C-alpha cells in the first residue's frame, strides 16, 4: 500500500505548521541568542528594540511564571539564560512583534555585555576538566585484561565521528493560541507532543490539562525534534500566556542551524585483541561524547552507544566506558541511530586497523565474529541472530567474488582512479532503552456509517507511521483502507505519549491500535452472532462481508455497525500497549532491554579520483532483515533515505565550530548535504523475510533507524580505495571522509 500522504504531498496540499491559517491578531516571535559561547552576562540592553513600534513585548527569564527549566533527563537547561551563557546561540530574550520581519530586526537591536569565560569545544578537554553531565558508565563482559594476555594480535587507535545537522526540510516551529479558561492550544512541529505539554506546564506553572498540543505531521524530524522542539513551543506559549494573543515562531534556517543541537560528535580510544584464527577475544573502548552545554538526551544517546559498541559481533571480553562531556556548544541530541552509529564506527575502525595490520581484508575478521543465536551481548541479552544469514545471503545474491575480481582488475589497469569496497553488517536493538517509555495508546472510533477514525501517540514525520496505523485497523476489521482516517496526534485525545522515536512508533502504537480494534471487533461480532443466531466464534468478517460458519450472510459491515449502535454497543475503544519482557538493571548494566534486534549487511563499492580527491558511490547492495514487512514500499523509502543520510554523515556533512564556539558551517552554502548526485548509482535491497516470532507489529520489524548505519560502509570502502592507491597512507579514522581529507590521505605516508 502506498503512503497515504503521497496524494497530498505530490499536490502540495499536505498541511505543515507554516500552512495553518493564521487567526486574526497573530503575533510573531524571534529569539535573541547569545553572541558568545561562554560567560557571565553583565548587561542586557533591550531599549532600542523595545522602542520599535511593531515590537509588542520582549520577554526574559524574569517573565517566566513557573520554572525556568526544560531539561528532560537532567534539570540543567534554562529556557532563557539568567546570568550565564553556555553556548553561542543560547536563548537570552524573546521578542514578540506584529510581523516576522519586525521581530527579526528587533533581535538585531538587542545589545549584551558578557564577561567572557574559557570556551571548551573538545570533549576530551572537558573530560580532563571533570566537566561531565552524568557519571561515566561502563559495560563489561568477561575479563579484558586477562584476555589480552592470550591474544595473538592487539591493535589500538583513535576513531572520531563528527556531528550531523538534522536538516529536516521543515525547520523548528510552533504556533500557540489562547483558549478559554486560561488554556493554550499549541501546534508544534515536535516528535514529542507530551514533552512539549509537560515542559510548557512546568515553565508556565499551570497543569498539563490546560495545554493541548496538536501535531498533524512534520516535514522531517530525524531525532532533532524529539527533545528540541520543546523550547520553541514554550516560547510561543509563554508569550500567549502573557499577551492572550496567538503567537507563532518558525525558525529561519540559519537560526535553526545555529541554535539547535545536532548528532553528538564522539572521539574514542579503542584496543582490540584477536587470536590466531582471527576471533576477536577482547575489546576495550572509551567513548568521549561531545554533549554540548546541557544534557538534553545525551545521557540516553551515550547509553545506546554502549549497547551497540560491538555492532553485530560476539566478543567474549568487553570493557566499554563512556563519558558524556559538557562543552560550550548547543546541546547535542537524538539523531537517527541515537549513538548506535557512533559506537559501531569505532569497532569497524578497530577491525579495519587489525585487518590492515595483518594484511588481510576486514571481511575476513568480520565474518568470523558475527554473533550467533544464544550468544550474549555485553549487556546480558542473548542474541536471536540473523547476522550470519544476512552476511551469507549478501555473498551469494550479489556474487561478491565477481565484484572483488572486477575491482582488482580495475585497480590494476587504472592509476588515477581506484575502486574500493567494504562490508557493513548492522545490528540495532528495538525499544527505548528507558524501559518505561515503551508504552503507547490508541483511540479508535467506529462511526455509525461504518467509517473508522484512529488517533495514536505516533507522530507522522515522513516515515509512514500513519499508513501503518491505518493498515493495522484495516487488517483487524478487514475493511477497506478508504473507510479509515488517521487523525492528528493530540494530547487531549492521547495522553502521556512517548516521543515518536527509537524506531518503535509503529510497533508500540500499532499494537495499541490492534488491541483497541480487537476489542471493538469482539463486540461487533457478538452483535452479528445475535442477528444471525449463531455463536460468536463462527462469525468472521472478511472484506466488509460478514460470514457465519464460512457462509456469507446478508449483512454488510456498515449494516452491522449500525445494528450494534442501535443495540447501544460501545463502538469506541482506547487501547493500551506496553512491551512485555523487557528489563534492565543499570546498577549492574545487565538485562534484556530490547524487544528484538534488526540485522542486515551491505556491500558498498566506490570509485575515487586520485587527482581531485572526489569520489562516487557506485553501489550499495544490501540484505535487510525485515521480519515480514507489512509495507514494502514504505520500508523501501526508509532504507533508501537512511542509506543516503548515513553516506552524508560519513562523507560530506562537516560541522565546523571555531575555537570561540561559533558555528561556521551555518548555512547550506557551507554545509554540504547529500543531493541526488550523492545517491549510489545502484542501490539494491533484498528483503530477508524471517519467520521467527518477534514483538514487532504484524512481525514487521522496525525500520526507521537501522539503515542509516549501512552508510558507515561507504567510509571504509573509500578508505580501501585510498589504500589501493597508496598502501602507506597514514589516514586515520576521522569521519567524515570529505574530498579534502581523502586527497590528503592519498598523498600522506606513514614512512
222 near ligand MTE (CB under 6 A) = yes
131-160 burial, b at 16+ Cβ within 10 Å, e below that, comes to bbbbeebebbbbebeebbeebeeebebebb
How far apart, in whole angstroms, are the C-alpha atoms of residue 610 and residue 744? 10
For cell 484512529, what's the residue? 454
CB of 14 to ligand LUZ, least distance (A): 25
Q: Over the Cα atoms of the chain, what is R_g?
A: 27
How far apart, in whole angstroms, are the C-alpha atoms of residue 716 and residue 605? 10
461 near ligand MTE (CB under 6 A) = yes
Nearer to ligand MOS, 459 or 722 (CB): 459
- Residue 390 pairs with which residues in a beta bridge? none
312 near 384, Cβ under 8 Å? Answer: no
Contacts of 668 (CB under 8 A, 6+ apart): 253
Nearer to ligand LUZ, 97 or 297 (CB): 297
How far apart, in whole angstroms, are the C-alpha atoms of residue 542 and residue 312? 42
The residue within the footprint of ligand MTE, chosen from 237, 704, 711, 736 (CB under 6 A), is: 704
Helical axes 712-725 vs 340-358, angle rounded to 10°: 20
Region of 25-33, 237-245, 334-342, 465-473 interacting with ligand MOS (CB under 6 A) = 334-342
CB of 107 to ligand MTE, least distance (A): 28
Helix (H) or strand (E) holding 416: none
The residue with its CB nearest to ligand LUZ is 338
96-108 burial, b at 16+ Cβ within 10 Å, e below that, comes to bbbebebbebbbe
Nearer to ligand LUZ, 55 or 501 (CB): 501
Region of 297-305, 391-399, 702-710, 727-735 interacting with ligand MTE (CB under 6 A) = 702-710
**Binding pattern for the stretch 330-359 against ligand MTE, x by CB under 6 A and - elsewhere:** ------x-----------------------
Task: Tell whether omega for the bond before 736 is within 30 degrees of 0, i.e. cis.
Answer: yes
Q: Which of ligand MOS, ligand MTE, ligand LUZ, none has residue 508 at its interface (CB below 5 to 8 Å by kind)?
A: none
Nearer to ligand LUZ, 296 or 386 (CB): 296
Which residues contribute to the site for ligand LUZ (CB under 6 A)?
A: 226, 297, 300, 304, 334, 338, 432-434, 501-502
**Binding pattern for the stretch 358-387 against ligand MTE, x by CB under 6 A and - elsewhere:** ------------------------------
Report helix, strand or coil for 356: helix
Helix (H) or strand (E) holding 485: strand 484-486
The residue within the footprint of ligand MTE, chosen from 305, 328, 467, 500 (CB under 6 A), is: 500
Show the cell assigned to 154.
Answer: 592487539
Nearer to ligand MOS, 226 or 296 (CB): 226
Nearer to ligand MOS, 220 or 736 (CB): 220
Region of 53-61, 443-451, 458-466, 590-598 interacting with ligand MTE (CB under 6 A) = 458-466
Among residues 255, 653, 705, 740, the one annotated as catalytic is 705
260 near ligand MTE (CB under 6 A) = no
CB of 432 to ligand LUZ, least distance (A): 4
299 near ligand MTE (CB under 6 A) = no
634 near 464, Cβ under 8 Å? Answer: yes
Report helix, strand or coil for 319: strand
How far apart, in whole angstroms, are the C-alpha atoms of residue 304 and residue 681? 32
Neighbours of 609 (CB within 10 A): 17
Nearer to ligand MTE, 110 or 506 (CB): 506
How do strand 183-188 and strand 153-161 relate by DSSP bridges? unpaired
Q: Which of ligand LUZ, ligand MOS, ligand MTE, none has residue 505 at its interface (CB below 5 to 8 Å by kind)?
A: ligand MTE
Nearer to ligand MOS, 155 or 335 (CB): 335
Active site residue 401: no
- The DSSP result for 640-655, as a single string, is HHHHHHHHHHHHT---
432 near ligand MOS (CB under 6 A) = no
The residue within the footprint of ligand MOS, chosen from 407, 427, 502, 560 (CB under 6 A), is: 502
How far apart, in whole angstroms, are the C-alpha atoms of residue 339 and residue 305? 5
How far apart, in whole angstroms, are the C-alpha atoms of residue 298 and residue 292? 9
Positions in 450-479 near ligand MOS (CB under 6 A)? none
Region of 133-141, 264-272, 335-343, 678-686 interacting with ligand MOS (CB under 6 A) = 335-343
How far apart, in whole angstroms, are the C-alpha atoms of residue 318 and residue 143? 7
Q: How far is CA 436 from the centre of its chain?
A: 18
The residue within the footprint of ligand MTE, chosen from 173, 223, 510, 706 (CB under 6 A), is: 223
Residues with catalytic function: 705
Chain residues in the site for ligand MTE (CB under 6 A): 220-223, 336, 461-463, 465, 500-506, 638, 641, 702, 704-705
Chain residues in the site for ligand MOS (CB under 6 A): 191, 221, 223, 226, 334-336, 338, 501-502, 705
Amino acid at each position: 500500500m502506498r503512503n497515504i500522504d503521497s496524494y497530498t504531498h505530490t499536490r502540495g496540499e499536505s498541511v505543515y505548521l507554516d500552512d495553518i491559517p493564521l487567526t486574526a491578531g497573530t503575533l510573531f516571535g524571534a529569539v535573541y541568542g547569545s553572541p558568545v559561547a561562554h560567560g557571565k552576562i553583565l548587561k542586557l540592553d533591550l531599549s532600542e528594540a523595545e522602542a520599535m513600534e511593531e515590537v509588542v513585548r520582549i520577554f526574559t527569564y524574569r517573565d517566566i511564571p513557573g520554572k525556568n527549566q526544560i531539561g528532560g533527563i537532567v534539570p540543567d537547561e534554562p529556557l532563557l539564560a539568567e546570568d550565564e551563557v553556555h553556548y553561542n546561540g543560547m536563548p537570552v530574550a524573546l521578542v514578540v512583534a506584529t510581523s516576522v520581519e519586525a521581530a527579526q530586526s528587533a533581535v538585531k537591536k538587542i545589545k549584551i555585555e558578557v564577561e567572557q569565560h574559557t570556551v571548551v569545544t573538545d570533549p576530551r578537554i572537558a573530560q580532563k576538566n571533570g566537566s561531565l553531565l552524568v557519571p561515566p558508565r561502563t559495560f563489561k563482559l568477561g575479563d579484558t585484561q586477562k584476555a589480552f594476555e592470550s591474544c595473538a594480535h592487539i591493535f589500538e587507535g583513535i576513531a572520531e565521528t563528527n556531528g550531523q545537522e538534522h536538516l529536516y526540510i521543515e525547520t523548528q516551529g510552533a504556533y500557540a493560541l489562547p483558549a478559554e479558561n486560561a488554556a493554550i492550544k499549541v501546534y508544534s512541529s515536535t516528535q514529542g507532543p507530551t514533552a512539549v505539554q509537560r515542559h510548557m506546564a512546568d515553565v508556565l506553572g499551570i497543569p498539563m490539562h490546560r495545554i493541548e498540543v496538536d501535531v498533524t505531521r512534520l516535514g522531517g524530524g530525524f531525532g532533532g525534534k524529539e527533545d528540541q522542539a520543546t523550547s520553541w513551543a514554550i516560547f510561543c506559549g509563554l508569550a500567549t500566556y502573557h499577551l492572550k494573543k496567538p503567537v507563532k515562531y518558525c525558525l529561519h534556517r540559519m537560526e535553526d542551524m545555529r541554535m539547535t543541537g545536532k548528532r553528538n560528535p564522539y572521539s574514542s580510544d579503542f584496543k582490540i585483541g584477536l587470536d590466531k584464527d582471527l576471533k576477536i577475544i577482547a575489546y576495550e573502548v572509551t567513548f568521549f561524547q561531545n554533549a554540548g552545554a546541557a544534557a538534553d538526551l545525551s545521557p540516553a544517546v551515550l547509553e545506546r552507544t554502549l549497547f551497540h559498541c560491538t555492532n553485530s559481533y560476539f566478543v567474549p571480553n568487553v570493557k566499554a566506558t563512556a563519558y558524556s562531556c559538557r562543552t560550550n556548544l548547543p546541546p547535542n541530541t537524538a539523531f537517527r541511530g541515537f549513538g548506535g552509529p557512533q559506537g559501531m564506527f569505532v569497532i569497524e575502525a578497530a577491525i579495519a586497523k587489525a585487518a590492515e595490520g595483518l594484511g588481510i581484508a576486514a571481511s575476513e575478521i568480520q565474518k568470523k565474529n558475527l554473533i550467533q543465536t544464544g550468544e550474549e551481548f555485553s549487556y546480558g541479552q542473548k542474541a536471536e541472530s540473523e547476522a550470519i544469514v544476512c552476511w551469507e545471503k549478501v555473498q551469494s545474491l550479489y556474487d561478491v567474488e565477481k565484484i572483488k575480481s572486477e575491482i582488482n582488475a580495475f585497480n590494476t589497469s587504472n592509476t588515477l582512479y581506484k575502486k574500493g569496497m567494504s562490508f557493513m553488517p548492522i545490528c540495532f536493538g528495538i525499544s527505548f532503552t528507558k524501559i518505561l517509555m515503551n508504552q503507547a495508546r490508541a483511540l479508535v472510533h467506529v462511526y455509525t456509517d461504518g467509517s473508522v477514525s484512529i488517533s495514536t501517540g505516533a507522530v507522522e514525520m515522513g516515515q509512514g507511521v500513519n499508513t501503518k496505523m491505518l493498515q493495522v485497523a484495516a487488517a483487524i476489521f478487514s475493511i477497506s483502507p478508504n473507510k479509515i482516517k488517521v487523525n492528528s496526534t493530540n494530547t487531549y485525545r492521547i495522553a502521556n505519549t512517548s516521543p515518536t522515536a527509537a524506531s518503535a512508533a509503529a510497533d508500540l502504537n500499532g499494537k495499541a491500535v490492534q488491541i483497541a480494534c480487537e476489542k471493538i471487533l469482539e463486540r461487533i461480532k457478538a452483535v452479528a452472532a445475535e442477528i444471525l443466531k449463531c455463536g460468536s466464534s463462527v462469525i468472521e468478517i472478511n472484506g466488509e462481508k460478514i460470514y457465519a460458519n464460512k457462509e456469507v450472510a446478508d449483512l454488510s459491515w456498515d449494516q452491522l455497525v449500525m445494528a450494534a449502535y442501535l443495540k447501544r454497543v460501545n463502538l469506541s475503544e482506547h487501547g493500551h500497549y506496553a512491551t512485555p519482557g523487557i528489563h534492565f538493571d543499570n546498577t549492574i548494566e545487565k538485562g534484556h532491554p530490547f524487544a528484538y534486534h534488526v540485522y542486515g549487511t551491505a556491500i558498498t563499492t566506490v570509485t575515487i579520483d586520485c587527482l581531485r580527491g572526489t569520489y562516487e558511490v557506485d553501489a550499495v547492495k544490501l540484505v535487510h532483515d525485515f521480519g515480514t514487512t507489512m509495507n514494502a514500499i514504505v520500508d523501501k523509502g526508509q532504507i533508501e533515505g537512511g542509506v543516503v543520510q548515513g553516506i552524508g554523515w560519513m562523507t560530506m556533512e562537516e560541522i565546523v565550530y571555531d575555537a570561540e564556539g561559533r558555528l561556521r558551517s551555518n548555512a547550506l552554502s557551507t554545509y554540504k548535504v547529500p543531493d541526488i548526485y550523492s545517491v549510489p548509482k545502484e542501490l539494491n535491497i533484498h528483503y530477508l523475510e524471517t519467520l521467527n516470532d518477534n514483538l514487532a507489529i504484524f512481525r514487521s520489524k522496525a525500520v526507521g533507524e537501522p539503515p542509516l548505519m549501512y552508510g558507515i560502509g561507504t567510509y571504509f570502502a573509500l578508505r580501501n580505495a585510498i589504500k589501493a592507491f597508496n598502501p602507506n597512507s597514514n589516514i586515520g579514522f576521522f569521519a567524515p571522509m570529505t574530498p579534502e581529507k581523502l586527497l590528503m590521505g592519498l598523498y600522506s605516508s606513514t614512512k
